[in-house]
Each structure stands twice: as C-alpha cells, then as structure tokens.
C-alpha cells in the first residue's frame, strides 16, 4: 500500500491510527500528580515524638523529676498558674506584663528604626553618622549594656522597655535600609518621569516597596525582643514571664520553669503568625512562599 493510499484511506490518519483510537487517547484523563504529605504533618509528628520521648524519660526514671518533671506534672502546674498563680500573680498577669514590655519596645524601635533605615539608605551623610551606631549595637548582647541602662534610666519599667527596644533596633534599621536599596530603579525613574518630587518618590514609591522588608525586620526583632525579655526582667521586676521563670528556677520548681518557657514559645509563635498574616494581607506583591 502506497503512502498516498494510506493517507486517503478513510478513518485513518498519517500514523495509521483509526479515528476512534485517536478519540479514545484524547479522552484518557491526565495523570494526577503524586500525593504529597502536607508540611504541618511532619511538624506534628516531630512534636509528638519529642513529647513521647519526654514522657518515656520521666516515666522510666531516666532523668530525675527535679530536673525534668513529666508532661502531666507540667500540665497540672500550668493549670495551677492559671487559677492560683505563682509569686503573687496569675499567669495572665505575668503574660500581660511581659507583652506590655515587648510590644512597647517594638513600638519604640519601629518609630526610630524605620526612619533611621530610610536615612541610611538615601543619604550619604546619614549613613556615615548612623552606621557606626548600628554596627556598635548589633553584636552587643543586652546583658552587656543592661547595667548602664539601669544607671541612666533607673530600675523601673523604663529600663526594661529601653533594653528590649535597643535589642530590636538593629534588625529593623538594617531590614529597612536593605529594602530601600532593593527598590528597582525603574520604579523611581517612572515616578520621576511623571514629575514626582523627591518626597513623593520616597512616600509613594520607595516606602511601599520597602514594606515587605520592614515586616521581615519586625519578625526578626520580635524574636530578639523575647530573647531579651528574660534578661530585662532580672532586675527589680515583680511580674512577667521572665521574672516567673527566674523565681521558679531559684527554688528548683522545674515544672513552673518549663510551663513558663512553653508559654513564651506559644506567644512568640502567635506573634510570628500575626506578622506573616500581615505580610500576606498588606503586601500581596511580595514573593512569599505559598506555604508561609
């Protein structure tokens, strides 16, 4: 059979397939992608495994209850913290005191850090003046300058909030400065071509484009603030999660120490989740991972 006769043969294509066979191939469903286990499942398995290991270690006496009480004892102490309290304050009162200090420090660091970051990124003189200060503060642990802050400010709430704010300041300044430098030049040139002034370019182009970096800096600063909280509440505090943990540690009340650590972790995670939600809600143009 010649090629022409094959082509002209009714019901067949050039490959020799019948029309019905070709139709059946087209009707076959596309291959489904392989099922992937969600990421949170792995996180859940990890958490449950750690909890099971903790329970086994305490149940079989691998670790003394003085150093590692069982999860049941910690849960009982957690409920006691809520209903009765510890060192003359309930868990809610300790939590409110710590949140007030952390969020107060965050507010101060944002009010100072965002403008400072803008100045560093847009002004040569500003960079020369502020860069040494930021680089001086950035590597210093809060405990290094806590005594000096107490001498200057006193032992009240002002010293605690000041120490937390100083620890949060470098991440916000550096993130803001990096965000300004990453703004595409085309955006700025386009605004100038429409006659925008320097202040209009800064307020309507640069700052909105920098918001994702600022929010990232806030997330980093929150972690730094919670790390500094315990140190800030070492001096002349009567309430606070850090104060509660330190007071319990002095008397080897390990279950209260663990309960306080868990509360700090939960609250810090909740604030981190709020910050991520704010990124997705207010800066949808940011290249965020769909799993964030």
Sequence ranges of the domains in the chain? 93-182+210-282
Joined together, the tokens standing for residue 188 give 């700025």
> What would the pLDDT profile of 207-232 be if each residue is shown by its tens digit?
888 888 898 899 899 989 988 988 88
Confidence of residue 25 (pLDDT cuts 50, 70, 90): low
Report the distance separating Cα 263 and Cα 163, nearest Å. Answer: 22
Q: Rg of the chain's alpha carbons, rounded to an integer? A: 30
Joined together, the tokens standing for residue 49 give 């495994």
User: What is the reported pTM?
Assistant: 0.76
The DSSP secondary structure of 97-147, one letter per residue, reads HHHHHHHHHHHHHHHHHHHHHHHHHH-HHHHHHHHHHHHHHTT--HHHHHH
Q: 86 - beta bridge partners?
A: 89
Contacts of 113 (CB under 8 A, 6+ apart): 168, 169, 172, 173, 176, 217, 221
Joined together, the tokens standing for residue 220 give 């980093």
Quick one: pLDDT at residue 54?
86
- Out of 3.40.50.720, 3.10.20.600, 1.10.3720.10, 3.10.180.10, the CATH code matching 93-182+210-282 is 1.10.3720.10
pLDDT, mean of residues 53-76 = 86
Quick one: pLDDT at residue 291?
46
> What would the pLDDT profile of 46-63 be if each residue is shown by its tens digit?
988 998 988 888 888 888
% of the chain surpassing 90 pLDDT: 27
Is residue 204 scored above 70 in pLDDT? Answer: yes
């Amino acid at each position: 059979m010649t090629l022409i006769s094959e082509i002209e043969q009714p019901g067949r294509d050039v490959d020799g397939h019948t029309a019905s066979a070709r139709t059946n191939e087209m009707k076959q469903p596309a291959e489904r992608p392989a099922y992937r286990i969600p990421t949170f499942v792995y996180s859940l398995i990890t958490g449950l495994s750690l909890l099971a290991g903790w329970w086994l270690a305490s149940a079989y006496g691998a670790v003394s209850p003085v150093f590692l009480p069982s999860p049941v004892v910690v849960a009982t102490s957690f409920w006691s913290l809520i209903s009765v309290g510890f060192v003359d304050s309930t868990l809610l009162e300790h939590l409110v005191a710590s949140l007030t200090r952390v969020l107060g420090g965050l507010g101060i660091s944002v009010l100072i850090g965002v403008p400072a970051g803008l100045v560093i990124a847009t002004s040569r003189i500003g960079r020369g003046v502020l860069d040494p200060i930021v680089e001086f503060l950035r590597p210093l642990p809060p405990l290094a300058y806590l005594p000096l802050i107490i001498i200057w400010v006193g032992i009240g709430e002002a010293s605690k909030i000041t120490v937390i704010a100083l620890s949060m300041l470098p991440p916000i300044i550096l993130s803001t400065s990096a965000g300004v430098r990453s703004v595409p030049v085309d955006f700025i040139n386009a605004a100038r071509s429409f006659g925008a002034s320097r202040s209009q370019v800064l307020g309507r182009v640069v700052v909105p484009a920098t918001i994702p970096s600022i929010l990232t800096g806030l997330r980093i600063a929150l972690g730094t603030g919670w790390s500094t909280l315990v140190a800030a509440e070492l001096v002349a505090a009567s309430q606070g999660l850090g104060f509660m943990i330190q007071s319990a540690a002095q008397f080897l009340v390990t279950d209260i120490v663990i309960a306080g650590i868990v509360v700090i972790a939960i609250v810090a995670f909740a604030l981190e989740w709020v910050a991520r939600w704010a990124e997705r809600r207010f800066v949808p143009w940011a290249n965020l991972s769909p799993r964030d």
